Chains A and B, each alone.
Chain A
Amino acid sequence: MKHIVIIITLLFFSFGEVAAQQTPADKQTEAISIVGATAHIGDGSVIENSTIVFENGKITAIGTKASTTTKGKVIDASGKHVYPGIIAPNTTLGLVEIGAVRATDDDSEIGLYNPHVRSIIAYNAESKIVESMRPSGVLIAQTTPRGGRISGTSSIVQLDAWNWEDAAMKIDDGIHINWPNPFTRGRWWMGEDPGYKPNKKYTEQITELEDFIKQAKATIQSNEKAYHLPHMAMKGAFDGTQNLYIHVESEKAILDVINFAQKHSLKNIVIVGGDEAYKVTAQLKAANIPVLLTRTHSTPNFEDDDYDQPYKNARILFDSGVLVGLQNSGQMERANARNLPFQAGTVAAHGLDKEKALQLITLNNAKILGIDTMAGTLAVGKDATLFISEGDALDMRTNQLDKAYIQGRDISLESHHTKLWKRYSKKYGK
C-alpha cells in the first residue's frame, strides 16, 4: 500500500511540474549576427572582435568584424565571448531523473550483453536536469546506457527539444563495452580486505567477451536470416558505421583493449575513462585510438599519485598527440554534467592552453563522437549551436550566459532552478 501511495504522489508531482519545463525554442526564421565578441572557435583558435552570422540554423559567416558583413538581427556582444555549444559525452541525461528513486531510473538493463538496447527511446527531452545544462553552455550530450559487459547503444542529442526524435542529432552513434577490470575489490562484508587485488577472472571475462564478438560476427556473416538481436546489433561496430566505446581505466587493461581491437579488426574504438591512458600515450597514438577521459574533478586513484594527476591527465594526452575529450560520468553525473566547462578550465589551470582546453569539450568531443560536421566549432556550414558569455566560460567566476542557440534557435536559459530562484526572491521582495 505504501508503495502505491508513493507512486501516486510521484505521478502527481511530475504532472504538476511538466508546466515548469521550458518550451523548446522556435525554428530560426531570421538571420542573426553576433558582433564584437571574442570568438572562441573550438579548434584552438580565437577571433577577436568577431562577427558571426547564422541563418536557418547554420553558421553562414564568421570572421573579424572588419571583414565580415552582418545580416539580419544584429546582437552587439562587444567585450563578450562566443563559444560553440559544449558537448557532454557519456552521460545519462534524460535516462534518470532522481538517482535514488528507482521509478525514474532508465539507464540500465539486466543481463550482460545488451548491445541491442537503445538509449534514445528512453531519453526524456523534458528532464529538468537537461534544461539545467544550458545556462552553463552545455548544449549537446551523448545519452548513454549503463551496466553489463555490453551496456547498449548510445545516441547524441541536442538539449532543447519536444521529444527524443526532435532531440536526436545522431541516433545509435555507438555501442558501449565495459572492459573487465584486471583488479577487483575485496568483499568487506565477507571479511576480506576492502582494497584492490588482481582479478583472477580477468582473462576468463575477456575470453567471454571475445566469444561474444566471434559469435556475433558469425551470425552477421551467415547468409541465412539469423534472428539474434544482440548479435545483429553489433553490425555497425564491425563495419565501422558505429563507434565502439570501451570503458576501461588501467594501464594494463588499455593495452589489452588495443590488442583486442587489432586482433578482432575492430574499427572506431574509443577509450572511455582511461585514467591511466597517460602511461600509454605512444601506443594509443600509434593505434589511433581517442580517449574520453575520466572526469577531471576526481581524486587520484592511488595514494602515491600526484595530487593533480586527474587535473593534468588531459594535458598529457593532448601534448602527446592523442585525440582526447572530456566527459563527466561517475557519482552524481547528471546534475554535475553542467560543470564540464569548468573541468576544461581545470585542465587549463594545470598546463594546457585555454583554447586547447576548450577544444577538449568542443571540437575533440565532436570528432570522437562523429558529429564534427555538425558541431564542435564555430565554422561555416556547421549548426549554429553556440552561446554568448559575459566572460571566460571555462571559469565559474565569469561563466555568465547571455544567450544560447541550438541550431539557430534562441533557446531559453531559464530552468527549474531559475524559476524557484525568482519565486523566492520575489517572496523576500528582493
Chain B
Amino acid sequence: MKKLLVSLAVIGVCMSVHAQEYFPKNDGVKTTNSNYTVFTNATIHTTPDEFINKGTLVVQKGKIVAVGKSASIPKNSVVIDLQGKHIYPSFIDPFTNFGIEPPKGGGGSPYGGNPQYGPSREGHYWNDHIRAEINALDHFKYDDKKATEYIKEGFGAVNTHMPDGIVRGTGLLVALNNEGSEGERLISDRSAQFLSFEKSKESKQLYPTSLMGAMALLKQVYLDADWYSKGNVATKDQSLEAFIANKTLPQIFETDSRINGFRADKVGGTGGVQYIIVGGGDEYARIDKVKATNASYILPLDFPDAYDVTDPYAANLVSLGDMKHWNQAPTNPAALAKNGITFSITAHKLKKLEELQKNIMKAIEYGLDRKTAIKALTTVPAQLLGMGDQLGTLKNGAYANFLITKDELFTKDNVIYENWVQGSKNVINDMNIKEIKGEYDITLASKTYALSISGTAEKPKAEVKQGDLKLGSKIEYSNDWINLTFTDTDTTTTKYIRLIAAVKDNTDVLTGKAILANGAETSFMAKKKPATADSKDKKDNKDKDEKKPEVVPVTYPNKAYGAAQLPKAETILFKNATVWTNEADGVLQETDVLVKDGKIAQIGKNLSAGGAKVIDATGKHITAGIVDEHSHIAAAAINEAGHNSSAEVTIEDVVQPDDIDIYRNLAGGVTSIQILHGSANPIGGRSAIIKLKWGQDADNLIYSNTPKFIKFALGENVKQSNWQSFSRFPQSRMGVEQVYMDYFSRARAYEKAKKSGEPYRKDIELETLVEILNGERYISCHSYVQSEINMLMKVAESFGFRVNTFTHILEGYKVADKMAAHGVGGSTFSDWWAYKYEVNDAIPYNAAIMHKEGVTVAINSDDAEMARRLNQEAAKSVKYGGISEEDALKFVTLNPAKLLHIDDRVGSIKVGKDADLVLWTDHPLSIYSKAEKTLIEGAVYFDLEKDKAMRQSIAQQKNKLATMMLEAKNSGLKTQPAKKKEKQRFECNTLETIH
C-alpha cells in the first residue's frame, strides 16, 4: 500500500518537473513552477559541526535558496512545519557502480590454450587493461529500483564508475532523483578517475598476471603519459590521451586490503598522484602506517559475519586471524577517526544496502563518534569529489538533498522520515504517524483482552493476553490503519481473531471492526490505560546497562603467533656455547657471545655480563642465522608470466609480512631470505632481500641499502614445456639465448640514448637491464642443464658482465670448472631430482663437486617446508661428497650471504656484524637439533619457551572468540560457514608449483 502511494506521488511530480524551459511542449500548455517549499521549526544540521535551532529551509527548483534562523518565507510557498524534527544533508556514496553493468568475462585459466600476449585494441595503449578512455556515462543507465534502495538508506547522490580494468576511466556523479530527467540528475559526467589492481574482463591479454605486474604497469603508464604529453609519440593513443586529461580529477583507487592500499599509495607516489584509497576494512591493524600514506580513505562497511562454529570440526578451519578480524573489523572506522584520517563511507561490498545503517550503528557502538560518521557520509565525500559547495551541506545554492529525521542521526530511536533529492520528496517513513504505544484493554464479544503495544510507531510490537494466558499476535500499522491478529483463547485449535481500526487523532481509544474466530463480524473498542511512571525508568536503566562490546587487542602481526609488542634489540650474553664462527677462528668451544645494540659486540671466554641478560648455553651451539638464497614465502605474488621478460616488476612491491611461513622459518633458524621471482620467463622480476622480522611492516623487512637482484630462468619452465602453451617465444633453449641477446642489445641502445642528452622514453624494464650491464644489479638464474648454464655465461661475457648466481644449478657439477672461471656462485638443492626431465642428471654430490672446484656454494630451499630444515639439508653434503661440517654449515649461512652480497652484515659470527644468531639445542647439522632462540639484530624473534606460551594463548583466544561467535549466532545474527582462507594467491600460483 505504501509503495503504491509513493509511485502515485512520483507521477504527480513528474509532470511539473520534467520539462526544460527551451523544450517544445505538445501535451498541454507550457507551465513553470517557481513556487517555494519551506521547512520550518526544524533543527537544521547545515554541516555535521553546525546546526540551527528552529530553523527555516527554503527550497526552489531543486536547490536550496535560503537557510537560517529567520529566513523570510516568500508568499508563493508551501510551508511544512517540522516541529521537533531534524534536517540533515542527504548522504553521498563516492564509490558505486550504480547503473553500470560490469563485463562478466569468460572465466577459466588465463594460461589455458594459447594465451593472448598482445592487445585486442588498436589506437590505444599497448595493454588492454589500461582503459582511461572509458567514460562510465557511455555505459550508464539510471536504475530506478536501485536508486530507491539508496534513497531509503538516506543517499541523495552516488558516484559511479565502470569497475573493470586497472585504469578504469572516468565516473559520474548522479543525483538519486527518480522523478528527474537524466539532464537534471547528472551532477558531473567526469567526477573522478578510477583505478585498481584488477585486470579488465573485456580482454584476455595475459599481462599482467600478477599484482606486482599490475603495479609495474601503472608506474610505466605514468612515465608513458608524461612522454606522450610532451609530444614525443607520432601515433595516436586514446588511452594515454584520456589518462593525461583525467589527471586533474580526483583519483579513486580500489583495493581489497590494507596492504594493497599501501601498495597503491606507493604506485601513486611514483606517478606524483595522491590516490583516494578504497580500503579493505582491515586498516585498524596498522593504523599508524595508514596515516602515513596521507591518503583519504573510502571505507566499505562489510563487517564480516560471525563464523558458524557450532560444528567444532568445521570450526577448526577458521584461523585465529580471521576470528579476530570478525571481532575487530567494526572498530575500523573509529580507528581512522581517532587517528585523524579523513575518510568517507561506501555501501560498496554490502550484500544488501539496508545493512549500511545497521553497520554504521555498529561502528558507533565500537567507538566511532556520530559526527564523524555523518561527515563520512556527507561533507567528506562531497569534498573528495570537489563538490563541497553543492553536496553534503545545507547552504544557499546547494542541491536540495536532505533528510528529515525524527531524532539526531544515528541515535538509537531515530527514524528517517523523508529523503528529499533535488527538491523531490521521497517518503521513507510516515512522519505524521500517530504514536500508538501503550497498554490497552480490548473489549470484544464480552471478553476483555490486555493489549500491549511497544516498539516504535514505525515498527510496533504487540502482545495480547487474556488473564495470564499469552496469545500469539501480530500487529501491522501504516497509513493510520492498524491491523491486529491474535489467536483465540482455545489453545486446542488454531483460530484467529482479526481487528482493524483507523487511528484517529485521539489515540486513547481505538475502535473498529473485529472478525471473530468463527467468522462473525462485530465491533470492538480498545481503551488506553494511563501510563505508569516506572516503566520509563526501567527503560533508561536498561540503556545504561548495555555493555561496551569486547574487542580483543591487535597484535604484530594480527593473527596467531603475533606479539603484543614488536621484539626489541636486547643486550644478551650467551655463556659457554659451542660457537660456529664461520671465520678463521672456526668452531670455538665453551665460548661466550655478547650481543648489544643489535650487533655482535664481543666473542670470547668469561665475558662479563654487565647489564646483559645472561643465557646459559652450556652444551648448546650458536651459529649465524640461516640465509636462504631462494625462497618464495612472504610474497603476495611470485610470477609475472605475462611477458618473456618482466624486469620491470619487483617482489619488493609485494612482500607479505604477515605470512605464517616467516614464523615457521624462524623456528628453523632462518633469519634472511631472498624472495625470488618465479621461473615463468627468461628474464624474471627483481628480488626482495629481507630479514624475517616477524610482525614488522613490509618496508621494515627489506634490507636497508639492499643489494639489487633479479631472477633469470632457463630451461623447461621458460620454454613452457610442461603445460599447454605454444604461443610465446621461446619454445626451445635456442630461443632462450636469443631473448637475452635481444634484451641486452636493446638495453645497450637504451643506455646510449639516455646518455646522449636527447629526450628518451623512460622504460622501467630497460632501466633494470642497464643496471645488469653495468654490474649494479646481480642475476640469480634458475638453471638446470649444463648447455644452458654455459650459454648464459657466454652471453654475459659477450656483454661484459658476470652472472652472480646460478640457482638450482643441478648440473653445475658438469661445468663447475667453467663456473669457477666465470666467477659465478651455485645455489643448489641438496638432493632433489627426477621430478622433470631436466633434473634427470641431478645428483646430491653437486654441492660437493662445485665446492671442490672453487665455486661459492649455497644450499637453498625454494620451498616453505624445506626452508625450516636447511641446516639438515646442508648436512647432506657431509653424506654426499664428504664436505667438512664447517663448510657444510657455510652452505646455508656465510656462502648464501656472500652470494647475496650481504656478508658484510650477516653470515658469520664476527664482532660488528648484525646479531642474527641461532641458539641450537644440539649440533647445528644434526637432525636432532632444534632452534631454541632465533635473533635478528639482537631482538629475539623466535623462542621455544615463548612459542609454548603462545600456543596456549592461541587456544584461549580462539575459545573466547568462538564463544562470542556462538553468542552472536544465538542472538539471531547472521553467520557465515566456517572456512579456511588461503594466502592471497594470484594466477601465477599454478606456475609457482613448477620449479
Q: Which residues of A contact B (CB under 8 A)?
A: 97-101, 128-129, 182-183, 188-191, 193-198, 250-252, 297-300, 302-304, 306-308, 332, 334-336, 338-339, 342, 345-346, 348-350, 394-397, 399-400, 416-418, 420-421, 424-425, 428, 430
Which 6 A-B pairs give the minimum distances between C-beta atoms?
A100-B836, A345-B927, A421-B845, A196-B980, A252-B313, A197-B979
A400 engages B879 (CB within 8 Å): yes
**How many Å from the CB of B230 to the closest CB on chain A?**
41
B834 engages A196 (CB within 8 Å): no
A189 engages B926 (CB within 8 Å): no
**How many Å from the CB of A235 to the closest CB on chain B?**
34
Q: In the complex, which residues 72-125 of chain B have their Cβ closer than 8 Å to any Cβ of chain A?
A: 107-109
Q: Which residues of B contact A307 (CB under 8 A)?
A: 663-664, 667, 868, 947
| Contact pick for B930, options A99, A191, A195, A349, CB 8 Å | A349
Query: CB-nearest residue of chain A relative to B323?
Result: A304
With A195-B979, A302-B317, A336-B831 given, name 8 new contacts (CB 8 A): A97-B834, A194-B982, A306-B951, A395-B927, A399-B879, A416-B841, A417-B844, A424-B816
A335 engages B928 (CB within 8 Å): no
**How many Å from the CB of A335 to the closest CB on chain B?**
4
Q: A100-B835, A332-B832, A424-B814 are in contact. Are A349 and B845 (CB under 8 A)?
A: no
B923 engages A397 (CB within 8 Å): yes
Q: A303-B660, A396-B876 are in contact. Are A428 and B927 (CB under 8 A)?
A: no
In the bound complex, CA of A307 to CA of B944 (Å): 11
In the bound complex, CA of A166 to CA of B722 (Å): 35
Interface residues on B, range: 35 or more
Query: CB-nearest residue of chain B relative to A332?
Result: B835
| Contact pick for A198, options B835, B836, B840, B978, CB 8 Å | B978
A397 engages B836 (CB within 8 Å): no
**How many Å from the CB of A387 to the closest CB on chain B?**
14
**How many Å from the CB of A192 to the closest CB on chain B?**
10
A308 engages B667 (CB within 8 Å): yes
In the bound complex, CA of A302 to CA of B561 (Å): 12
Q: In the complex, which residues 604-663 of chain B have their Cβ closer than 8 Å to any Cβ of chain A?
A: 660-661, 663
A397 engages B667 (CB within 8 Å): no
**How many Å from the CB of B794 to the closest CB on chain A?**
20
Q: Which residues of A contact B107 (CB under 8 A)?
A: 189-191
In the bound complex, CA of A345 to CA of B836 (Å): 28
Query: CB-nearest residue of chain B relative to A255?
Result: B313
Q: Does B833 belong to the interface (CB within 8 Å)?
A: yes
**How many Å from the CB of A134 to the closest CB on chain B?**
14
Query: CB-nearest residue of chain A relative to B984?
Result: A194
A335 engages B843 (CB within 8 Å): no
**How many Å from the CB of B782 to the closest CB on chain A?**
15
In the bound complex, CA of A57 to CA of B843 (Å): 32
Q: A302-B319, A417-B844 are in contact. Are A428 and B313 (CB under 8 A)?
A: no
Q: List 27 A-B contacts (CB under 8 A).
A: A100-B721, A129-B834, A182-B313, A194-B989, A195-B982, A196-B980, A198-B978, A250-B313, A297-B866, A297-B869, A299-B661, A299-B865, A303-B320, A303-B321, A303-B559, A303-B560, A304-B319, A304-B560, A335-B831, A339-B831, A342-B872, A348-B927, A395-B927, A396-B875, A417-B843, A417-B845, A428-B816
In the bound complex, CA of A416 to CA of B833 (Å): 12
Q: Which residues of A contact B814 (CB under 8 A)?
A: 424
Query: CB-nearest residue of chain B relative to A394?
Result: B927
Q: A299-B661, A424-B814 are in contact. Are A304 and B982 (CB under 8 A)?
A: no
Q: A195-B981, A396-B878 are in contact. Are A349 and B927 (CB under 8 A)?
A: yes
B979 engages A397 (CB within 8 Å): no
B813 engages A99 (CB within 8 Å): no
In the bound complex, CA of A418 to CA of B833 (Å): 14
Q: A191-B107, A302-B980, A335-B834 are in contact. Are A98 and B840 (CB under 8 A)?
A: yes
Q: Which residues of A contact B660 (CB under 8 A)?
A: 303
| Contact pick for A99, options B836, B878, B881, CB 8 Å | B836
Q: Which residues of A contact B844 (CB under 8 A)?
A: 417
In the bound complex, CA of A297 to CA of B861 (Å): 13
Binary per-residue interface labels of chain B (414-436) against chain A in the complex, 1 for a CB within 8 Å, 0 otherwise = 00000000000000000000000
Q: A335-B832, A420-B841 are in contact. Are A197 and B716 (CB under 8 A)?
A: no
Q: Which residues of B contact A193 (CB under 8 A)?
A: 979, 981-982
Q: For the complex, would chain B's binding face be called helix, strand, loop or mixed by DSSP majority?
A: loop
**How many Å from the CB of B376 to the closest CB on chain A?**
29
Q: Does B504 belong to the interface (CB within 8 Å)?
A: no
A304 engages B954 (CB within 8 Å): yes
In the bound complex, CA of A397 to CA of B663 (Å): 26
Q: Which residues of B contact A332 (CB under 8 A)?
A: 832, 834-835
Q: Which residues of B contact A194 (CB under 8 A)?
A: 982, 985, 989
In the bound complex, CA of A241 to CA of B314 (Å): 36
| Contact pick for A421, options B840, B843, B878, B987, CB 8 Å | B843
**How many Å from the CB of A154 to the closest CB on chain B?**
21
In the bound complex, CA of A116 to CA of B685 (Å): 49
A397 engages B885 (CB within 8 Å): yes
Q: Which residues of A contact B881 (CB under 8 A)?
A: 421
Q: Does B864 belong to the interface (CB within 8 Å)?
A: yes
Q: Which residues of A contact B930 (CB under 8 A)?
A: 349-350
| Contact pick for A346, options B721, B843, B927, B980, CB 8 Å | B927
In the bound complex, CA of A310 to CA of B852 (Å): 36
Q: In the complex, which residues 788-835 of chain B have their Cβ closer than 8 Å to any Cβ of chain A?
A: 813-814, 816-817, 831-835
Q: Which residues of A contact B978 (CB under 8 A)?
A: 197-198
Q: A100-B716, A420-B813 are in contact. Are A303 and B925 (CB under 8 A)?
A: no
In the bound complex, CA of A182 to CA of B978 (Å): 12
Q: A307-B667, A421-B849 are in contact. Are A302 and B831 (CB under 8 A)?
A: no
Q: Which residues of A contact B832 (CB under 8 A)?
A: 332, 335-336
Q: Which residues of A contact B925 (CB under 8 A)?
A: 397
Q: Does B977 belong to the interface (CB within 8 Å)?
A: yes
Q: Does B929 belong to the interface (CB within 8 Å)?
A: yes
Query: CB-nearest residue of chain A relative to B108?
Result: A189
| Contact pick for A251, options B316, B951, B981, CB 8 Å | B316
In the bound complex, CA of A421 to CA of B832 (Å): 15
A196 engages B317 (CB within 8 Å): yes
**How many Å from the CB of B468 to the closest CB on chain A?**
46
Q: Which residues of B contact A335 (CB under 8 A)?
A: 831-835
In the bound complex, CA of A193 to CA of B982 (Å): 8
A198 engages B314 (CB within 8 Å): yes
**How many Å from the CB of B810 to the closest CB on chain A?**
11
Q: Which residues of A contact B954 (CB under 8 A)?
A: 304
**How many Å from the CB of A83 to the closest CB on chain B?**
15
B878 engages A98 (CB within 8 Å): no
Q: Which residues of B contact A346 (CB under 8 A)?
A: 869, 927
Q: Which residues of A contact B866 (CB under 8 A)?
A: 297
Q: Does B528 belong to the interface (CB within 8 Å)?
A: no
Q: Which residues of A contact B813 (CB under 8 A)?
A: 420-421, 424
Q: Which residues of A contact B848 (CB under 8 A)?
A: 421
In the bound complex, CA of A191 to CA of B199 (Å): 13
Q: Which residues of B contact A299 (CB under 8 A)?
A: 661, 664, 864-865, 868
Most buried by B among A304, A334, A338, A395: A304
In the bound complex, CA of A170 to CA of B108 (Å): 45
Q: A251-B316, A421-B845 are in contact. Are A396 and B927 (CB under 8 A)?
A: yes
A304 engages B320 (CB within 8 Å): yes
In the bound complex, CA of A394 to CA of B927 (Å): 8
Q: Which residues of A contact B875 (CB under 8 A)?
A: 395-397
Q: Which residues of B contact A196 (CB under 8 A)?
A: 317, 979-980, 982
Most buried by A among B721, B923, B926: B926
In the bound complex, CA of A306 to CA of B109 (Å): 35
In the bound complex, CA of A197 to CA of B832 (Å): 33
Q: Does B126 belong to the interface (CB within 8 Å)?
A: no
**How many Å from the CB of B250 to the closest CB on chain A?**
29
